[in-house]
Structure 1
């Protein structure tokens, strides 16, 4: 993905919190040796010392989710020790069944907290987070598009960059997410299974007037292309 032109990579161990495991620093260290773009790592991070270990191993940012809900002061402590730019607040959300809005889920969607998702992100910004990864569990894996209402609702109430996650099926979905208020878009399946290349997506977005960074010649040369 580095060679193909990704701007950033996100590594998530989605079962780490449920299984009470820390994300291995080995992954962070190996990624730092091989990847020449910024990367975020998350999963099982429970303390500021865990965050420190990930950053020391080479991560540019650390994503926190379940632990932040259980201990919101972790956001503040991380921001004070390492800077807000290193602290990514990730949230897994689902639409409420019989009323408007979205609720926060933990442990890979296994636990419904009942917390209002937008309200939680407002608090996360106040406590010092520097970025949000906003994952719609309703849309995740469907390739039917991001939850644009969710993105818009968060963008209206917060000022931090939003990384939209869950539902990407093609460039049109990514453009819609950016137009709804996302600062960046995250995708997995469409790239993992070769449905689109990163270059194809970026070219499509650029032609539609959305500014993107294309692969620089020196980056291609550095990666042996």
Structure 2
């Protein structure tokens, strides 16, 4: 069974939702047969690389609220993150574009280190003091922490076209599947779960998707049809 998760590094609910999903997956009896794939989604596509601003100011401007209300919203997210055992700085964080991070995540996928890099990016953005936005060397450091080669990471970041099409393709796919925000979880392309739902919701979704998996139905039961198997290929009979 495959679970695809569309998310953005700038999204706090993606950070929390990942932890809740993983809690559900850990309790799932068939977890060893579940493949988890991360997909790209930008909350602010097209944002300039140098456009970095404090989170509180961004929230106040985007949602037309006071900075006091924006801070209260951050405090609420921080409390929910803490309930999942996640560190979360509710003061002094930055916000910016994530396109380069998604490109780097695709590079990490090709190297088999995508989940490690995603964890590093989440930790750096939500729990550490140094900003992850607008600083390529910071991203290179995190890539190295995730087990990637520093020079390889620098090459990706220096080439704006590297993995750009892959990121855009996954974003279009999310829209086609009906995603209007993230996190967005898709199970076997049959079930969707939107938002950072409680672990119990993910547990039910996994169980339902597993229980409704249909066994393969053979439409041609001709036992004499030629085929290749573990013992090799049958030699066609001579007329």
Normalised by the length of structure 2, the TM-score is: 0.30
Rg: which structure is higher? Answer: 2
More strand by share: 1
Point out the structure with the larger helix share.
Answer: 2
- Superposition TM-score, scaled by structure 1 size: 0.31
Structure number with the bigger relative contact order (C-alpha 8 A, sep ≥ 6) is 2
